[in-house]
Structure 1
Amino acid sequence: MAQSERLLETLQSGPQQDSETPLSQSLLLGFDTETTGARPGSDAIVSATLVLRNPGLGHSKDVMGEWIINPHRKMSPGASRVNGFTDAYLQEHGMEPQDALERIAKVIATAQLANIPLLAYNAPFDVAMLQHDLGQWKLESLESRMGGDGILIVDPLVIDRAVSHRSGKRTLGYTTEYYGVEPDGDFHNATADTVAAVDLIQPMTTLYPQIGRLTVGELMVWQQHAHRVWKESFNQWLTSKGRRPIHDGWFE
């Protein structure tokens, strides 16, 4: 059975998760992409991974789907240097976007309808890339597949900013090092990044029990508030340096 089919079947045959489920016990669907560049709306996804994690079963029982996509547009040189994909490789090995994106969106929507959060590090980027690509190829949006409901997200970056109060960079690499997570493969690979991001939840919820007690139903409001608090503080710092403030929201 193809990976994506097994992942979808596992979700379809599983139970509905309760909104009162605490984050420390919640099933999670990890998500990461590699892209032609860093501009949602102009660039496109070339690689994506989804990882279903049941915390009661652990890493070895993860169910995974991986996709390589021919974006029908050129890789930017900078992105190619980071993720290693070339135009020639994608043209030879990539799936057609309509097929890959439809499968990815169907898996995510199925998890969302079961109240299983989508976990992504710096989630607005990956979700925006996916939403744009779905629209670009005239495929149904995630919200439409879920009856108009918003997306249920877990973003370890937002959580870490709110609770760790540490100095230094907050890239996925630095954050996993801080929490003692050993990467399974090289960063800037969608699969390695997805697994690493999902792996963050166990040490985060152990080190900060208040995060582990957050329920699935509380997650979005808590993270929206946490992002607003961080943005206000960050903008004060930017202004003090004579730089422009940011205006990005977090799924609001």
Structure 2
Amino acid sequence: MINTVLTAMREALDSAPEQDMSTRLDRSWLLGFDTETTGTNPGQDNIVSASLVLRNPQTGYEGDAVAEWIINPGRHISKGASRVNGFTDEYLAENGSEPAESIEQITKVIMAAQGRHIPLLAYNAPFDVRMLNGDIRQWCAGRVEPMSEQDLLVVDPLVLDRAISHRSGRRTLAYTTEYYGVVPHGDFHNATADTVASVDLIEPMTTLYPQVGRITLDKLMDWQREAHTTWQNQFNEWLTSKGRRPSSDAWL
């Protein structure tokens, strides 16, 4: 099944345009990405499920090309992760693919899209990018190079939302989609459902906040880095006021 799905994804990507860096975010093709993992530590934990969703802005959800992988990393999945994503060691052993081949396939699709200036979209993107890089180093050494964080073209709806909505409350994917009126296609913590929901956020975000839609691809990364720094400085002021340790987490 994955070979058929992967072929369809590659064909869809081959038909996608090579975008100019002056393309606006609200008119850009996007490659959504999400992972489910054995835990939360890149380089120590592994991806057990991943999804890529190629979105043509003119056709929307109905025109999506989707590829999903179930991967058996041959290691124990933590109880916490299993409660969240529903995977078990037994299920992965029976249904999961070999890690090296799957991680290589995922990476090559992403890099092909990057070559066409199609941004990689992921909610809380550093987590998924660093998990994938950790698996590349573990499984694909000598076959695939880890992705350079500084060179990637990425859209992170979490960073966008923090910069524009100024709302109170939690900013998990579930809460954020509810805020923007996005109805999920499937259950959260399923890699494909989460990926589609994340991509679906861009239309209402850029409609409600036209200044975000006008961001061009050549300005996208600097805009998000500045937005993350501004948010982090404000967050650290709040943490310090509560006697808590400031956050030093970097974005991309």
**TM interval, short-chain normalised:** over 0.9
Letter in 2 for 1:98: A
The answer (yes or no) to whether the contact 1:109–1:142 under 8 Å persists in 2 is: no
- State the partner residue of 2:44: 42
The answer (yes or no) to whether the contact 1:49–1:64 under 8 Å persists in 2 is: yes
- Structure 2 gaps of 5+ residues are none
3-state DSSP of counterpart to 2:34: strand
CA distance in 2, matches of 1:181, 1:249: 28
Q: Which runs of structure 2 are paired with 1:126-205 in the superposition (5 Å)?
A: 126-137=128-139, 138=141, 139-143=143-147, 150-205=151-206
CA distance in 2, matches of 1:141, 1:248: 24
Q: 1:12: how far off?
A: 2.5
Letter in 2 for 1:135: R
Q: Are 1:78 and 2:46 matched, yes or no?
A: no
Letter in 1 for 2:49: S
Letter in 2 for 1:212: G
Higher mean C-alpha displacement, 1-10 vs 235-244: 1-10
The answer (yes or no) to whether the contact 1:50–1:65 under 8 Å persists in 2 is: yes
4+ long deviations beyond 4 Å? none
1:59-80: per-residue Cα shift (whole Å, max 9, x none)? 1010010000001111001100
Root mean square deviation, CA, Å: 1.3
The answer (yes or no) to whether the contact 2:47–2:132 under 8 Å persists in 1 is: yes
Letter in 1 for 2:24: P
CA distance in 2, matches of 1:193, 1:250: 20
Match of 2:71 among 69, 72, 76: 69
Q: 1:5: how far off?
A: 1.5
1:5-47: per-residue Cα shift (whole Å, max 9, x none)? 2111221233211101100000000000000011112110000
- State the partner residue of 2:222: 221
3-state DSSP of counterpart to 2:147: helix
Letter in 1 for 2:45: D
% identical equivalent positions: 63
- State the partner residue of 1:18: 20
Q: 1:149: how far off?
A: 6.9
CA distance in 1, matches of 2:147, 2:251: 16
3-state DSSP of counterpart to 2:229: helix
Letter in 2 for 1:193: D
CA distance in 2, matches of 1:245, 1:149: 24
CA distance in 1, matches of 2:107, 2:129: 10
3-state DSSP of counterpart to 1:65: strand
Q: Which runs of structure 2 are paired with 1:89-128 in the superposition (5 Å)?
A: 89-128=91-130
Tell me the number of residue pairs that the alignment of Structure 1 and Structure 2 aligns: 248
Q: 1:109: how far off?
A: 0.3
- Structure 1 gaps of 5+ residues are none
CA distance in 1, matches of 2:15, 2:185: 28
3-state DSSP of counterpart to 2:33: strand
Match of 1:29 among 27, 31, 35: 31
CA distance in 1, matches of 2:43, 2:188: 24
Letter in 1 for 2:47: I
CA distance in 1, matches of 2:194, 2:12: 22
3-state DSSP of counterpart to 1:67: strand
CA distance in 2, matches of 1:7, 1:177: 29
- Structure 1 length normalisation: TM-score? 0.96
3-state DSSP of counterpart to 1:55: coil
Q: 1:179: how far off?
A: 0.1
- Structure 2 length normalisation: TM-score? 0.96
The answer (yes or no) to whether the contact 2:137–2:146 under 8 Å persists in 1 is: no
Letter in 2 for 1:141: E
- State the partner residue of 1:236: 237
